[in-house]
Amino acid sequence: MDADRATIVDVARDLLTRAVDQGAPSDEALVLLERLDRLDGVGFDAPLHHGVSRARPSALPALSPAARHPWRWVIAGLMVVAVAAAVVLGGAPVLSWMIDVPNVAPQAALTAEPLPIVRTADTLLDRARGLYAGGHLHDAMRLLDRIDIADPARGDADRLRAGIQRDLLAAASVGTPASGAGVAR
């Protein structure tokens, strides 16, 4: 019975080796070969009662997957060369089909006028002018208080503040409260 089992294991090992040589996934074949070695009593976790291990017959010397199938590397190299040539030679026409590529920008377009910068003080001053024009004098004064002393717009803010104060004093001397004077926020 052991002789029949040994021949079956040897035939299975030979078939697995041939399958790997012809391109079968080597990971799966190695797992199966290790199992056969365990049955044979050759592996590291083999049962101790089998005794002496026999040498495994090998029809072919163990070669790396790259050495067994050199044509795969040739095909991969040719693919890389073909893709590189396609990118180098066909890149410009493909790019021109995909997007509009301008030739050369005129010099006048490069020296375009810079965009205006809107500062916080300018925004506050414009809002205060709008509130002053709408008759909300106290609200306009609160906005003008938020403009810093060192800001370049401070001169315009002070002139507007003087006009608002003049109107508030005139309203107080007449005895009619200015619009927004009684509203506390």
Q: Do 77 and 59 belong to one domain?
A: no
**Alpha-carbon separation of residue 59 from 22, 51, 71, 152 (angstroms):** 14, 25, 22, 92
Cβ 50 vs Cβ 38: under 8 Å: no
Domains: count for the chain: 3
Q: How far apart are CA 51 and CA 41, in angstroms?
A: 8
Instruction: Note the pLDDT tens digit of each residue in 48-84.
Output: 554 444 555 555 555 565 556 677 878 888 899 988 8
| The predicted structure's pLDDT at residue 133 | 95
Q: How far apart are CA 177 and CA 163, in angstroms?
A: 16
| The predicted structure's pLDDT at residue 155 | 93
| The predicted structure's pLDDT at residue 158 | 95
Region of residue 58 (phi > 0: left; psi between -120 and 50: alpha; otherwise: beta): beta
Domain residues for the domain of 160 are 120-174
Residue environment code for 54-91, b if the CB has 16+ CB neighbours within 10 A, otherwise e? eeeeeeeeeeeeeeeeeeeeeeeeeeeeeeeeeeeeee
- Determine if the pTM surpasses 0.95: no
Q: How far does CA 45 lie from the centroid of its chain?
A: 48
**Residue 160 pLDDT level (bands cut at 50, 70, 90):** very high
Q: Do 62 and 18 belong to one domain?
A: yes
Instruction: Note the pLDDT tens digit of each residue in 94-141.
Output: 666 666 655 555 555 566 777 788 889 999 999 999 999 999 999 999
Q: Do 96 and 126 belong to one domain?
A: no
Mean pLDDT of the chain: 75
183: pLDDT strictly greater than 70:
no
| The predicted structure's pLDDT at residue 61 | 54
Q: Do 42 and 57 belong to one domain?
A: yes
Nearest to 145 by CA among 131, 133, 11: 131
Residue 107 domain-assigned? no
Higher pLDDT, 74 or 39: 74
Residue 149 domain-assigned? yes
